[in-house]
């Protein structure tokens, strides 16, 4: 991922760059910090930059582009980088486009942090006053006077970049006056929308696992409910079973009773008939015997 952070001095570009570095594992290419390091080291470029920076001016393009070109080639910039403080002008943006083209790299997004200049000046005045009270050294380029000049330079030279990147559909504008955390979240959402970063895979895995666990948990709960019915349910089930048994047993009992009655009646009838027939036969026999005499 390769992105540019745009915004006037004091808009929070450096702070957001550091947060992005921690989140995405990329490096911050801050021309301001690289130039300040050169000033502290007292190199020829540093001494030249010191004079320009103290007056609120801009360092020559060839110096800045050379620094960035060398930095991009370093191993830790392989996964991507954030450019903070560069480009500052349209010619620098064109030089950066050419540089990236030569290196076969693509610029993913340009994030503009839009802020209120009056509020920025008030912040710097407060910060400088607090630093002086604590006896800390105030940077030459971090005073209200220098900031006023830098803001004027930004309006005249850097603001045209908004149009430049907007035409190339690379620009995203975010309210830099929000709280730091809110600005960070807004940048992340924008990078997701542009496809510069992808949602974390472990978040998807977690969602899938939760989705699988939910039905399993529900089924388990259902199983427990069936395995351990209440006393009322047990009693009801027992009564229902008894009632069902009675319904089935009733007809059987009635049928058995009816059969016994029928057999008894038939036997009684048969016995009567047999006795009657036997008596009749015996009577006939006696009559015949008497007739012979």
193 token code pair:
């929308």
Catalytic one among 2, 13, 36, 71? 13
**C-alpha span between 274 and 155 (Å, rounded):** 136
> How many Cβ atoms are within 10 Å of 94's Cβ, its own excluded?
13
Q: Has 23 been annotated as catalytic?
A: no
Catalytic one among 88, 102, 218, 241? 88
190: Cα separation from own chain's centroid = 15
Q: Has 245 been annotated as catalytic?
A: no
Q: Has 189 been annotated as catalytic?
A: no
Q: What is the largest CA-CA distance in the chain?
A: 178
Are 28 and 16 in contact by the 8 Å Cβ rule? The answer is no
Question: What is the DSSP-derived secondary structure letter of residue 195?
Answer: T
Q: Has 127 been annotated as catalytic?
A: yes
Are 84 and 32 in contact by the 8 Å Cβ rule? The answer is yes
- Of the candidates 83, 128, 133, the one whose C-alpha atom is nearest the C-alpha of residue 105 is 83
Catalytic one among 48, 114, 123, 139? 139
Q: What is the DSSP string of 47-91?
A: HHHHHHHHTT----HHHHHHHHHHHHTSGGGTT-EEEES---SHH
Q: Has 48 been annotated as catalytic?
A: no
Catalytic one among 48, 127, 149, 170? 127
Beta strand 81-84 with 109-114 is unpaired
**Which residues 6+ apart lie within 8 Å of 119 measured at CB?**
177
**C-alpha span between 274 and 175 (Å, rounded):** 120
Kindly give the interhelix angle for 160-167 and 90-102, rounded to the nearest 10 degrees.
40
Catalytic residue list:
13, 88, 127, 139, 150
């Amino acid at each position: 991922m390769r992105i540019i952070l745009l915004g006037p001095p004091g808009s929070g570009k450096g702070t957001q760059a550091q947060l992005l570095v921690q989140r995405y594992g990329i490096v911050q290419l801050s021309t301001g910090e690289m130039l300040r390091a050169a000033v502290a080291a007292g190199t020829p470029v540093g001494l030249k930059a010191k004079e320009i920076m103290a007056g609120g001016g801009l360092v020559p393009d060839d110096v800045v582009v050379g620094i960035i070109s060398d930095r991009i080639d370093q191993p830790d910039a392989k996964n991507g980088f954030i450019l903070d403080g560069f480009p500052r002008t349209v010619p620098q943006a064109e030089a950066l486009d050419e540089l990236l083209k030569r290196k076969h790299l693509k610029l993913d997004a340009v994030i503009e942090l839009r802020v209120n200049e009056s509020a920025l000046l008030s912040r710097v005045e407060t910060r400088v006053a607090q630093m002086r009270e604590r006896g800390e050294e105030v940077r030459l380029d971090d005073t209200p006077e220098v900031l006023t000049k830098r803001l004027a330079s930004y309006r005249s030279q850097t603001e045209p970049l908004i149009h430049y990147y907007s035409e190339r559909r690379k620009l995203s504008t975010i309210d830099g006056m929000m709280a730091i955390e809110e600005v960070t979240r807004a940048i992340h959402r924008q990078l997701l929308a542009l496809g510069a970063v992808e949602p974390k895979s472990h978040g998807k895995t977690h969602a899938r696992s939760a989705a699988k666990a939910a039905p399993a948990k529900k089924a388990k709960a259902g199983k427990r409910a069936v395995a351990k019915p209440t006393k009322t349910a047990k009693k009801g089930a027992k009564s229902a079973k008894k009632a069902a048994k009675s319904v089935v047993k009733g007809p059987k009992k009635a049928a058995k009773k009816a059969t016994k009655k029928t057999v008894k009646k038939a036997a009684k009838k048969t016995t009567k008939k047999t006795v009657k027939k036997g008596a009749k036969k015996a009577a006939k026999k006696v009559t015949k015997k008497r007739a012979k005499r």
